[in-house]
């Protein structure tokens, strides 16, 4: 990584996270609350996202990926660390300044049933961000809503319908229309297709890709489905128990993964082809995912790691760049 290359890339970076941590305290007692433990949901995370790219963030439940997405957007304020958006640290920003930046960062949620107000019509749902952040009203607002619905593949005649009158995939499209309405540059997609049927997932993925091209969007795509992440991402980061264990370009991660957790994760994904499946080597991890309250000493992954050695039990491995653009947190990589 030359200085020249770094400088070249620095101009492209939209988001940079430095040492981000989110610790949730666990308290005991009603009148006098004592802190008895901490859930280290996100623990010293570093990465960047370039303008126009999709960074995939994968990991299993409890790894902290959803919390990370929310901390990034300051929907929950992180315990420590820095989040640079277009060069400015959001963590130290006052609420009213943050509000204006919020126009440029949006989120699409996982549950198309929970994330839409059941008492608002489709039109009202999509209009809400526009009412908050712009002066658009009346006929101009209505035209804008119709345009947005068309962009996401919904019929503008549906503006008066309520969420329960739409299918899951349609509701997700509504969520996307809402996120797009004020022309953000960055969207956190938090498991946007996990709750949808398989045949609809592909529709939504294609839509997100088309929109990225058309509106020059940058995505943080959070998911646990590795096959989908591979399709839509340019680079991928893997999380385990609050820490990033590997970051690489998409092809590098899927073809030459270096971290033992990534390798096990990839081998656990079933492939829809009986002949291929019968001949695959499987790495079945021992044991359970430990609780983020009682983290093991040293490397978080060592109790389940098939290749762990002595140093892994003592020293936490740091995220190191082992090849250009490929970072791994493992003593043995």
Partner 1 sequence: MGILLQVRDLKTYFYTDAGVVKAVDGVSYDLKEGETLGLVGESGCGKSVSALSILRLIANPPGKIVGGEIFFEGKDLLKISEEEIRNIRGNHIAMIFQEPMTSLNPVLTVGLQIGEALELHRNMNKKEAREEILRLLKMVGIPDPERRMNDYPHQFSGGMRQRVMIAMALSCNPKLLIADEPTTAVDVTIQAQLLEVVKELTSRLGTAVMLITHNLGVVARHVNRMAVMYAGRIVEQGPAAEVYAHPQHPYTIGLLASVPRLDKPRKERLAPIDGQPPNLILLPPGCSFMPRCSHRMEICSNERPELRPVGDGHFTACWANIVK
Site for partner 1, rule CB under 8 A: 60-61, 167, 169-170, 197-203, 205-206, 209, 224, 226-228, 230-231, 250, 254, 264-278, 282, 284-285, 288-289
Q: What is the nearest approach in angstroms of partner 1 to the Cβ of residue 131?
A: 30
Give the whole-angstrom CA distance, residue 43 versus residue 59: 14
Measured from the CB atom, is 1 or 284 closer to partner 1? 284
Q: What is the nearest approach in angstroms of partner 1 to the Cβ of residue 266?
A: 7
* Residue located via tokens 């540059």: 185
Distance of CA 65 to the CA centre of its chain: 6
Q: What is the nearest approach in angstroms of partner 1 to the Cβ of residue 288?
A: 5
Measured from the CB atom, is 125 or 208 closer to partner 1? 208
Measured from the CB atom, is 144 or 224 closer to partner 1? 224
Measured from the CB atom, is 27 or 206 closer to partner 1? 206
Q: What is the nearest approach in angstroms of partner 1 to the Cβ of residue 251?
A: 8
Measured from the CB atom, is 81 or 192 closer to partner 1? 192
Q: What is the nearest approach in angstroms of partner 1 to the Cβ of residue 310?
A: 23
Q: What is the nearest approach in angstroms of partner 1 to the Cβ of residue 70?
A: 20
Q: What is the nearest approach in angstroms of partner 1 to the Cβ of residue 39?
A: 16
Measured from the CB atom, is 4 or 213 closer to partner 1? 213
Give the whole-angstrom CA distance, residue 266 versus residue 255: 10
Measured from the CB atom, is 83 or 151 closer to partner 1? 151
Q: Record the tokens describing residue 189, joined without a space.
A: 């997609």
Measured from the CB atom, is 52 or 128 closer to partner 1? 52
Q: What is the nearest approach in angstroms of partner 1 to the Cβ of residue 110?
A: 14
Q: Record the tokens describing residue 172, joined without a space.
A: 């997700």
The answer to whether 186 and 217 are in contact (CB under 8 A) is yes
SS (H, E, C) the chain: CCHHHHHHHHCCEEEEEEEEEEEEEEEECCCCCEEEEEEEEEEEEEEEEECCCEEEEECCCCCCHHHHHHHHCCCCCCCEEEEEECCEECCCCCHHHHHHHHHHEEEECCCCCCCCCCCCCHHHHHHHHHHHHCCCCHHHHHHHHHHHHHHCCCCHHHHHCCHHHCCHHHHHHHHHHHHHCCCCCEEEEECCCCCCCHHHHHHHHHHHHHHHHHHCCEEEEEECCHHHHHHHCCEEEEEECCEEEEEEEHHHHHHCCCCHHHHHHHHHCCCCCHHHHHCCCCCCCCCCCCCCCCCCCCCCCHHHCCCCCHHHHHCCCCCEEEECCEEECCCCC
Pairing label, strands 34-50, 13-28: antiparallel
Measured from the CB atom, is 17 or 116 closer to partner 1? 116
Q: What is the nearest approach in angstroms of partner 1 to the Cβ of residue 289?
A: 7
């Amino acid at each position: 990584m030359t200085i020249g290359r770094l400088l070249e890339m620095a101009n492209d970076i939209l988001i940079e996270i430095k040492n981000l941590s989110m610790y949730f305290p666990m308290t005991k007692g009603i009148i006098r609350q004592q802190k008895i433990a901490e859930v280290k949901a996100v623990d010293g995370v570093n990465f960047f996202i370039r303008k126009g790219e999709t960074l995939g963030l994968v990991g299993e439940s409890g790894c902290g990926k959803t919390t990370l997405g929310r901390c990034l957007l300051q929907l929950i304020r992180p315990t420590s660390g820095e989040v640079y958006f277009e060069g400015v640290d959001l963590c130290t920003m006052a609420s009213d300044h943050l509000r204006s930046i919020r126009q440029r960062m949006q989120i699409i949620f996982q549950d198309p049933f929970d994330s839409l107000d059941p008492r608002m019509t489709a039109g009202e749902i999509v209009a809400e961000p526009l009412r908050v952040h712009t002066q658009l009203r009346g006929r101009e607002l209505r035209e804008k809503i119709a345009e947005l619905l068309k962009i996401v593949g919904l019929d503008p005649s549906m503006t008066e319908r309520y969420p329960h009158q739409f299918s899951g995939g349609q509701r997700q499209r509504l969520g996307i229309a809402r996120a797009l309405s004020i022309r953000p540059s960055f969207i956190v997609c938090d498991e946007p297709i996990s709750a949808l049927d398989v045949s609809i997932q592909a529709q939504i993925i294609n839509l997100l890709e088309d929109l990225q091209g058309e509106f020059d969007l940058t995505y943080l795509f959070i998911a646990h489905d590795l096959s989908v992440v591979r399709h839509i991402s340019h680079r991928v980061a893997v999380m385990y128990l609050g820490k990033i264990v590997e970051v690489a370009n998409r092809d590098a991660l899927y073809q030459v993964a270096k971290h033992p957790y990534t390798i096990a994760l990839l081998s656990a994904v079933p492939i829809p082809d009986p002949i291929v499946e019968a001949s695959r080597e499987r790495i079945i991890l021992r044991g359970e995912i430990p609780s983020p309250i009682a983290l093991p000493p040293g490397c978080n992954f060592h109790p389940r790691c098939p290749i762990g050695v002595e140093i892994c039990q003592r020293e936490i491995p740091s995220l190191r760049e082992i090849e250009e653009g490929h970072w791994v947190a493992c003593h043995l990589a």
